[in-house]
Structures are given as structure tokens and as C-alpha cells.
Chain A
Amino acid sequence: MSVAVAKHGEVKHNYLNAGDTVLSWLLTTDHKRIAVLYLVSVTLFFAVGGLLALLIRLELLTPQGDLMTSENYNRVFTMHGVVMIFLFLIPAIPAVLGNFLVPLMVGARDLAFPRLNLASWYVYMAGGLIATWAMVNGGVDTGWTFYPPYSSSYSTSQVTLTIIGAFLIGFSSIFTGINFIVTIHKMRAPGLTWFRLPLFIWAHYATSVIIVLGTPVVAITLLLVAVERVFRLGIFDPALGGDPILFQHLFWFYSHPAVYIMILPAMGVISEVVACFSRKRVFGYHFVAFSSVAIAVIGFLVWGHHMFTTGQSVYAGMVFSLLSFLVAVPSAVKVFNWTATMYKGHIEFRAPMLYVMGFLGLFVIGGLTGLFLASLATDIHLQDTYFVVAHFHYIMVGGTIFGYLAGLHFWWPKMTGRMYPEGIAKLAALIIFAGFNLTFLPQFVLGYLGMPRRYHWYPEEWQMLHVMSSAGAALLGIGYILPVFYLLWSLRNGALAGPNPWGATGLEWKTDSPPITHNFEETPIVTEEPYAYENHHQQEEVASGTGASTAEA
């Protein structure tokens, strides 16, 4: 459409140059601009969480607790968890990539409720700032799980403020969830039936369902803890007649599904990228689509696997264990289907594809170790050890963050109109992969040997493994900083992308890069199946060849 115009350097209208005052950003209701606001905010919070992680790894270099006191160590790992989970992992993909892409992919001019969308960013920022304020004014030391009675009766840290922050952030994701659900139901372009939707949309739909059904429960639960703390009531405090295990039930009713809030959107990204760079239709499209929904439903039935050793009934434990094995099935279906998609594909090893391949390997490890933990007997040995820490980092860092980076690179040309530099991006992907494994593989061994989580003293003989882990973390840090620089650099200096640099299918590639304010010149009409790479890729490559080849240069 507009490639030629853009190439000659004329300024085309797009969402980025639609206004350049600060207010035009702060009061925008354009989903794409809100996505950019979120991109900046989650990146900042990721940096905060990353610095805290660095402190943890520095402390653990030596067996003695020499860098900080135990109290401060408690604060550091708690705040690392709170920031990373509530302020980065949960919003990252939905609020940045989802916000940007959901309307584009369904062929709509915006989300159903643009003002609600903007409100969600403000609520998120309010929550984030309150949590930050709590951090600098004494911090929190309860662990990200806020277990009472420690959180309600004993901790002297800023529990209440942090809870208020988390509460607000929860509502911001509820707003996003409501918006996605309504948009996906009601605003699909003509011809875009459910089974023509990109799998990214299915994944975000499932994520939104979890957000809407789960988040309120954790909100009220945390609120009860705060009330209990402020008014000295005994809702969960056994000394006052309450039951702390009930808190755990309610907390994990949300927080297990919440791990799927973090991973499902990443799975959506993987489906898009794997199809594009294998030049094939996603194998078993329907299975992948329905597995997202299955995860959203079954994910709500397994929370008790976090409570095997807490005094929960043995029978409940057995049921929860069984159901946990069940939830691994739809995840496995996805992995098999992605792998089958690559089989005999024309694979292009672009940076996003490297992240996808990293994702596949790491997610398999993370998921399988989840099954170890979901077995009643093994979990008694592994509960609250570094094995658990390694398990969830394999999924949340190896899965979600890899997915996020894959998506960020894949759609960067769409968001900014510029290509990122391919060579250094690949290098960064490799560094991140190496650094990640060096950091977290030793932690499986440590956990198996009995290293408990949340301690900063440990026996001398484990130092070697801890040093490896810390070294890996440093490498990982470098890997994460690189994209900040080259992506910013590309904003001015990257090659012009053109509408469809990858020759990808999907409505978002049918409009300009960056898109105009209301996305499409005219409402698109969809006539074909998703991922029709096999029928179309030749024509499309011709059409977009210019963009792709500049990228290569």
C-alpha cells in the first residue's frame, strides 16, 4: 500500500506522529499508544526487578550472609517476586503486545472500550507507584505469596501498602481482560470467524477469561489480609480462630491460574512466529486453539498442588495431583504441534525464531519438572527448595520472557516502522539462552540436594553451584540490556520495514507500519484461513521483498 511513499521519505500519517505533546500521550485512547505507554512502564519495572535479582545473586555468591542481613534479604527476594510477577510478567505480553495487536488482528479500529483501556494504564501506574513507595519506605518481607499469619500479625514491613498496590494492579488487568473479551466477541471483521482467528487471539481470549474469573478472588483475599492486619481481626490468624490454610486456598485459586495468565499469551506469540518462520500453517490449528481454552478451565482445578505439605487433606491432595497431571496435557499438545509445524518447514533463523526455539526447549523442561512437583511423594522432598525456584523460572523466564522478546522483535517493525538490527539481535538471543541455562540449571541440582528457597546462608559445598548461577545471571543481565540499546537505536537508524517485512499472514500486516490511528483505511474483509503460508507465500514475498531485503542489509 504505502511502502513506496514511505521509501521516498515523505511523512505518512501514523499513530506515532498523530500528536507529539506529552498530553497527547497521557490522554490518548488509541490502543497502540497505550501499548507504548505500557511498554515503557513494564520495561522500567523489569529493570527494577532485575536489579533486585542481581542483589539476590550477589548475596548468594558466598555461603555466608555477608552482603545484607537476613531481614533485608527477605525484603529483596520478596520485592523481586512482587515486581516481576505483578508488575512485569502479568501485564507484559497482554498489555503491550496484546493491546497493540488484538484490534489489529481482528480488524477493528480500536478496542471496545478505549477509555477503560487508558484507565487500566493509570490504575496500573498507581498500583506500581504505591508498591514502589512501599519498597523505598521499608519494603516488604513476606514473600510474594503474603502468607498469613506472618503477613497479617507479625511482619513489621509495608505489607498493607504493597497489598493495596497489588490490588490496584489486579484491577488494571481486569480492565484489560474485559476489553479483550468484548473486542474478540463483538468486533471481529467481516468473514473473521472464530476458526480464522490467529492463535494469538485465542491465547489472549483464554488469558482474559482467567484474569476476569481469578483476579477478583485474590483481590478480596489480599484485602482481607490487609483488613486483618489493620484492625487486628482474626480472619486467617489461627490465634484468633482463623485458618491460614484457607488463605492459601483462596490465594492459589487465583495464583495457579495466574501462572497461565503469564504463559498463555507467550504461547500465542509462539504460534504466530513459528508459523511465519516455518512458512507453514500451524499444525493442528484447532487443537492449539482449544488447548488454550482447556488450559484456562483446567488451570482452575489444580491449585492445591501448592499445598501438599501444609496440612491439606490427603484426599484433596490426591485429586489436585491428578488434575495437575491433566493440565499438562494441553500444554504438551501445543509443544507437539509447534514442533510438527517446524517439521519440513522452510525455517528462517531470525531473532524471533531463535527465541521460539529457546522457548520450546525451556518450556518442556519447566513443564516436566512441574510434573515432578505435582507428584505427592516427590513434592515432599522438593517443596520449598530451589527445585521449585528453577521450575518456575524455566517457565516464567524461559517461557514468558522468551515469548515476550520473540513477540517484541517480531512486531517491532509493525510498532515502529523500523527493522531491528538482525545480527546483534541474534547475538543477544544466544547470550540470553546461555545465561539463562547457566543461571537456572544449577538450581535444579541445588534443590534436589536440599537447598531451601528464601535463605541466604548455605553450606560451603554448594558454593560452586551458586557461583555458576550468579555468573549466569550476570550474562543474562547483559543479554537483557543489549535489546534496550539496539531497539532504541533502530528507532532512528533501522531500515524502513514496510507493511509486511516478514511476508506474514494476518490482518496486522495488511496495514501500514506503523499503522494509522484507526488501524485500517477501510474495514478489512477476511476470506481465507489463518496462516495460509503454503498457498500464498510466493506472492507475498514478491510484494514485500523490498522491505525484507533492506532488513537484511
Chain B
Amino acid sequence: MTNGHDTHSHIVPIKVYLLVYVALLVLLVATVGAAYLPGHHTLLNNVIALTIAVIKAVLVILYFMHVRYSTRLTWLWASAGFFWLLIMFILTLGDYFTRHWVPVLGWE
């Protein structure tokens, strides 16, 4: 049943929390900075912004939400949500991105 070791009494030291917090703030500044990069790099900008957001989210999940110190089961559920989100995004956007590959007569 339970796999024995009681992970949740694991107390994360305050120093770790502070480090994560600083990292989050730095990443926040980086996102805003990236948005002001000169020139038109729509795709690049989007990729940078989302990558940074993902890193921030992962930091929060691993440390603030203690997943790093939790059981495999918690890992499993935490990742399941994001995995299914990806399924939804990829298959939905897949439709929109490929719609114009075949011209439909009378459309447009």
C-alpha cells in the first residue's frame, strides 16, 4: 500500500526557497527583456517567452510544490496533466496548421 517512507515531513530549507525565488525573478526580467529585443522575431520571441515560462513553472513545481521530494506517484500525476495538455494543443493546432495545405475549391 504506502511505500513506507513518509516523504512529506521532508522540510525544505529556507535557503533553497530563497534561491528558487531569486531564479524566478531573474527569469521574469529575462522574459520582459526578451520581449524588447530589437527587430521582428515573432517565432523566436514566442519560443523564448514560453521556454522561460516552462522553466519557471518547473521550478515552482519541483521546489515550492515539493515534487522533487515526493513519491513517484506524485510525479506521475503532476506530469500527466501537462502531458495531456500537450495532446490537446498538438492535435488541435495540427488541424489549424494543416488546413491550407490542400486548397478547398470555393473557399477563401
Contacts and interface: CB of A to CB of B under 8 A. Distances in A.
Contacts of B95: 245, 249, 304, 312-313, 316
A235 B81 CA distance: 25
Interface range for A: 20 to 34
Contacts of B88: 217, 253
A186 B2 contact: yes
A186 B4 CA distance: 11
B81 A213 contact: yes
Contacts, number: 53
B36 interface: no
Interface range for B: 10 to 19
Contacts of A316: 91, 94-95, 98-99
Contact of A315 (B1, B84, B101): B101
A12 interface: no
A39 to B, nearest CB: 29
A500 B80 CA distance: 39
Interface in B73-101: 73, 80-81, 84, 87-88, 91-92, 94-99, 101
A466 interface: no
A300 interface: yes
Interface of A is mostly: helix
B91 A187 contact: no
A138 interface: no
Contact of B102 (A209, A245, A314): A314
B80 A186 contact: no
Nearest to B94: A316
A26 interface: no
Contacts of A319: 91, 94
Given A186-B2, A213-B80, A300 B87 contact: yes
Interface string A166-202: 0000000000000000000111111000000000000
A72 B11 CA distance: 63
A189 B88 CA distance: 36
Contact of A186 (B1, B81, B92, B97): B1
A89 interface: no
Choose among A190, A300, A313, A314 the residue with the greatest number of B CB atoms under 10 Å from its CB: A313
B1 A313 contact: no
Given A213-B81, A217-B88, A301-B91, A190 B1 contact: yes
A190 B1 CA distance: 7
A411 to B, nearest CB: 25
Nearest to B95: A316
Contact of B92 (A185, A189, A209, A249): A249
Nearest to B90: A301
Interface string B1-14: 11000000000000
Given A186-B1, A186-B2, A313 B96 contact: yes
Nearest to B97: A313
Contact of A213 (B84, B97, B99): B84
Interface of A: 185-190, 209, 213, 217, 245-246, 249-250, 253, 300-301, 303-304, 311-316, 319-320
24 contacts: A185-B73, A190-B1, A213-B81, A213-B84, A217-B88, A245-B95, A249-B95, A250-B92, A300-B87, A312-B95, A313-B97, A313-B98, A313-B99, A313-B101, A313-B102, A314-B101, A315-B94, A315-B98, A315-B102, A316-B91, A316-B94, A316-B95, A316-B98, A320-B91
Given A300-B87, A313-B97, 4 more contacts: A213-B80, A300-B84, A312-B95, A319-B91
